[in-house]
Structure 1
Amino acid sequence: MLAQGSVVNAVVIIAGALLGMIIKGKLSERFKVIIMQALGLSVIIIGLSGTLSAIFRVSSDGTLENKDIMIMIIFLVVGSIIGEAINIEQKLNRFAEFIQKKIPGSGGNFSVGFVTATLLFCVGAMAIVGSLEEGLTGNADTLYAKSILDCISSFIFSATMGVGVLFSAIPVLLYQGSITLFAGALKPMLTPEVISQMSLVGNVLILGIGLNLLEIRSIKVANMLPAVFLPILYYLIRFLII
């Protein structure tokens, strides 16, 4: 079955969100706030640890060396310009508002839950690498492992942000499924260096999601999404020039 890992991932997100919605009404506002703060801190640590592990490596003499910092900055800036021009975040919000109108009593934070969960489930290294792995080898184990984590996350997020989290399963399925289906065509360009750079940018965006959850700064993470795929374009241009 094509993109089976993505289908399973979407189903467990829905299951986790449904369970979370059961307890949503039983949580007081102060508990929702502290849970969101705990989630924000956790997401920041995940993004930070992934970013630092990708940037720094231990050299043969035991000192730390950094790599890919300048290219990461370029990807983020150029990708953000592209995303801002397309205005991906606005389109996601409009899609969320469209769904919200179809669901009576879905609540005013539908869009926040939808966009936040969608970004968190899509930009991480496991989403990218797992989808590519399934498309190239047929092995969906990474996506199955991701599904367990996403199920827990969707449960917690829906308990605080509501039904919007449930509908994040739609873009997750489309996003990861598309990567899986097109992985064969992209195979020549998917060197370990390219995959590493894609994962690095994804982890930086996860850090941005954490900052948004803590309301430290409002960052348009969705408009930075094109940066995740710029390493492929960079490799292609470098290959054609060289």
Structure 2
Amino acid sequence: MRRIGLLGGMSWHSSIEYYTKINDAVAKKLGGHHSAQILLDSCDFADIRELQEANDWAGNDASLTATAQRLVDGGAEAVAIATNLMHKCAPAIEASVDAPLIHMVDSIATMAKRQGFSTLAVLGTRWTMLEDFYTGRLEAQGIKTLVPDEATCLEVDQIIWDELTQGKFTDASRARYVEIMNDLKTRGADAVALSCTEIGLLVPPETAPLPALDSVDAHVAAIVGWMMAEEPVAI
């Protein structure tokens, strides 16, 4: 089994999901007392958030690159960023760290293609929805993307930062997200990518009004597939 290095803590609520789901998949695959070989570097998210709010992405590049290097120095054979938004920093990590990066967007594209989806609604932070680093990478792999209008994107973003990343999951926000998903469905989305790692905690895929691809599940499938030196496993 290969050893993965996780850049976690963004937020810790979803990092728990990563740790649990990776170990569960490995245990199901190998049986007995097997568990996953994981190195986890869990940041103080307040530091990352301060840089985000200052639009200091060079600072976040430096922070996450240093984290990835610590993991590799500690024995990780590949790294994974356990958050969608911080894949804005993926190019900096790939350019600086001598280890593979298992990219979340690629894992979502793989899951979408395997399930026969061609048009994904994308819900996440405003950067994830409105910038090219995420939707552009999906489009480059043949997946058409749809996002809400800009005002709704800001509403989705506010709920993420004011509630979800702080472990708050309310019925009102759940209902609003479902309403937004229904609107994207009417615009032609055949599935929705839950492109913030906490959205699946608010709206579990089985409760969404259209097929939902949980970014954590897609990423974990790719990570465990790499750990076992095989194709992504079902989660």
- TM (norm. structure 1) is 0.28
More helix by share: 1
- Higher alpha-carbon Rg: 1
- TM (norm. structure 2) is 0.28
- Name which structure has the greater RCO, CA cutoff 8 Å, separation 6+: 1
More strand by share: 2
